[in-house]
């Protein structure tokens, strides 16, 4: 694509993003290329979206193929094949469930809350409507998901948000038991690996205790795997490390290779509680995005792919540890697979900016954590290059 002739930042866009003044014009694998020809190693993957890298042949091929049918969109008034097949394939790859397709992560969260409330209402009536979320959580920017997001700066300007949300501490089972009640709680929502909250891996024992508590009190357990799911943790879903299943599973980001798509998987008992007409969306599960998502899912679940992610993660881990051992500012290394956090003694955003000057793109996760989300197929040597640039930025 040729760059626009006017490359100074426009004032026509709503000023909600602080973007650096770099205009990207193309991408290739783990690289993004700016209009001046400078190449940046992209360890953001579009915040966990470009799991197969930029310009992935599988994704580009699937987009072309999907377009050939002439069906980009029909709405959910009518049946189309790719969404039906994709739903079956997602269910086959996860747990018995039914799928609702939407267009973003936050929308899958809103749907999760509606389904959970609908199901809980069949047990405890209107009183059983409360949602329990966790400190450090991020579930989205819409009124329901924002209410379950523990970020005062994101929440406060827009209050009142959706009422009925309580916050618990990860790891504090006694506190959780007080908040989660049979009579009042509809759902508990948790990211098995907290992303925005600083790449915090929730211990598998706690996830199992949560599962048991939700079963005992007839509460829907929602896993938000929008950032950590679909291969990023080295498993198809991070909750697989705990050997348990949620009642509702939120996915989005990498699902359609960079095209907007989200999905909510609902276990049969929850899915059965909602009737035709009670929820919906115009674009969700359209034939083009669903066709591309089928190819992405097939790629990530192909034999050897996840083993490759774990192998690359080991290489990244080794480099990060070596870097940490030499650094006076690294406080903690976090994460699994290719979702990693480097907690620093200092301002993460300043380091992100410094790394950018050195040709490495990173994103902060809170005030003192640098997040690394390289494409899942990044070659070892580029993982090492990325850590070298990060080390330079840290120094
Ligand atoms: C864990 C998690 N949940 C929900 C969301 C919201 O997704 P979206 O921005 O697509 O609405 C995000 C986005 O970063 C996320 O990381």
| Ligand 1 mean position, distance from CA 132 (Å) | 18
Residue with tokens 């994101």: 154
For helices 287-301 and 305-326, give the axis angle rounded to 10 degrees. Answer: 70
For residue 195 and ligand 1, the question of a CB distance below 6 A is answered with: yes
Q: How far apart are CA 133 and CA 35, in angstroms?
A: 43
Tell me the per-residue pLDDT of 182-236, one tens digit each, with 9 for 90 and over: 999 999 999 999 999 999 999 999 999 999 999 999 999 999 999 999 999 999 9
Closest ligand 1 atom to residue 227 Cα is 16
Strand 130-134 and strand 165-168: pairing?
A: parallel
Nearest residue to 247 (alpha-carbon basis) of 225, 284, 219: 219
């760059």: which residue's tokens?
3
Q: Are 224 and 260 a contacting pair, CB within 8 Å?
A: no
> For ligand 1, is residue 191 a contact (CB within 6 Å)?
yes
Q: How far is the CA of 212 from the centre of ligand 1 (A)?
A: 26
CA dihedral 196, 201, 206, 208 (to 10 degrees): 100
Mean pLDDT of the 255-270 span: 98
For residue 257, the Cα-to-chain-centroid distance in whole angstroms is: 13
Ligand 1 centroid to 290 CA: how many Å? 19
- From the CB of 80, is ligand 1 less than 6 Å away? no
Cα(90)–Cα(92) distance, integer angstroms: 5
214 CA distance to ligand 1 centroid (A)?
24
> What number of H helices and E strands is found in the chain?
13, 17
Tell me the pLDDT tens digit for each residue of 38-47: 999 999 999 9
Q: How far is the CA of 138 from the centre of ligand 1 (A)?
A: 7
13-29, pLDDT tens digit by residue?
A: 999 999 999 999 999 99
- Decide: 355 and 389 in contact? Cβ < 8 Å: yes
For residues 366 and 368, give the distance between their C-alpha atoms in angstroms, rounded to a whole number. Answer: 6
**Is the shortest distance between the CB of 150 and ligand 1 below 6 Å?**
no
Pocket probe mutation, ligand 1, options 149, 190, 252, 264, max atoms within 8 Å of Cβ: 252
Whether 226 lines ligand 1, by a CB cut-off of 6 Å, is yes
Q: Which domains does the chain have, with CATH numbers?
A: 24-56+304-394 (3.90.1150.10), 60-301 (3.40.640.10)
> How many CB atoms neighbour CB 132 within 10 A?
26
339-393 per-position pLDDT tens digit: 999 999 999 999 999 999 999 999 999 999 999 999 999 999 999 999 999 999 9
Cα torsion through 382, 385, 386, 388, rounded to 10: 160
CA-nearest residue, atom 3 of ligand 1: 139
Nearest Cα neighbor of 368 from 391, 350, 383 is 350
Residue 320 pLDDT more than 50? yes
Atom of ligand 1 nearest to the CA of 106: 11
pTM for the complete prediction?
0.97
Q: Ligand 1: does its nearest atom lie under 6 Å from the Cβ of 111? A: no
pLDDT for res 6 = 53
């Amino acid at each position: 694509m040729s760059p626009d002739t006017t490359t100074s930042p426009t004032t026509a866009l709503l000023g909600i993003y602080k973007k650096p003044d770099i205009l990207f014009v193309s991408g290739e694998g783990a690289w993004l290329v700016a209009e001046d020809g400078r190449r940046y190693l992209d360890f953001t993957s579009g915040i966990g979206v470009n799991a197969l890298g930029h310009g992935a042949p599988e994704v580009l091929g699937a987009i072309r193929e999907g377009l050939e049918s002439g069906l980009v969109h029909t709405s959910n008034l009518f049946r189309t094949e790719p969404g039906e097949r994709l739903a079956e394939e997602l269910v086959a790859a996860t747990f018995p469930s039914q799928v609702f397709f939407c267009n973003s992560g936050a929308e899958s969260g809103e749907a999760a809350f509606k389904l959970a409330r609908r199901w809980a209402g069949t047990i405890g009536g209107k009183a059983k409507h409360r949602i329990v979320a966790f400190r450090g959580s991020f579930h989205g920017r819409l009124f329901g998901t924002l209410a379950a997001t523990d970020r005062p700066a994101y929440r406060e300007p827009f209050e009142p948000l959706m009422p009925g949300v309580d916050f618990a501490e990860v790891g504090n089972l006694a506190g959780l038991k007080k908040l989660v009640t049979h009579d009042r709680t509809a759902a508990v929502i948790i990211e098995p690996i907290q992303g925005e909250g600083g790449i915090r891996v929730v211990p598998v024992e706690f996830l199992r205790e949560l599962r048991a508590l939700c079963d005992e009190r007839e509460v829907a357990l929602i896993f938000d795997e929008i950032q950590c799911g679909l291969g990023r943790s080295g498993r198809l879903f991070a909750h697989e490390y705990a050997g348990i299943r949620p009642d509702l599973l939120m996915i989005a980001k990498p699902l359609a290779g960079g095209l907007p798509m989200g999905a909510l998987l609902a276990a049969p008992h929850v899915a059965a509680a909602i009737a035709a007409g009670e929820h919906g969306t115009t674009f969700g599960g359209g034939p083009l995005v669903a066709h591309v998502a089928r190819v992405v899912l097939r790629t990530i679940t192909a034999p050897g792919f996840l083993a490759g992610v774990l192998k690359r993660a080991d290489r990244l881990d080794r480099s990060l540890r070596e870097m940490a051992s030499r650094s006076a500012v690294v406080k903690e290394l976090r994460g699994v697979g290719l979702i990693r956090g480097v907690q620093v003694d200092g301002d993460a955003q300043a380091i992100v900016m410094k790394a950018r000057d050195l040709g490495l793109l990173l994103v902060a996760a809170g005030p003192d954590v640098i997040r690394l989300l390289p494409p899942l197929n990044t070659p070892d040597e580029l993982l090492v290059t990325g850590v070298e640039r990060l080390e330079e930025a840290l120094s």
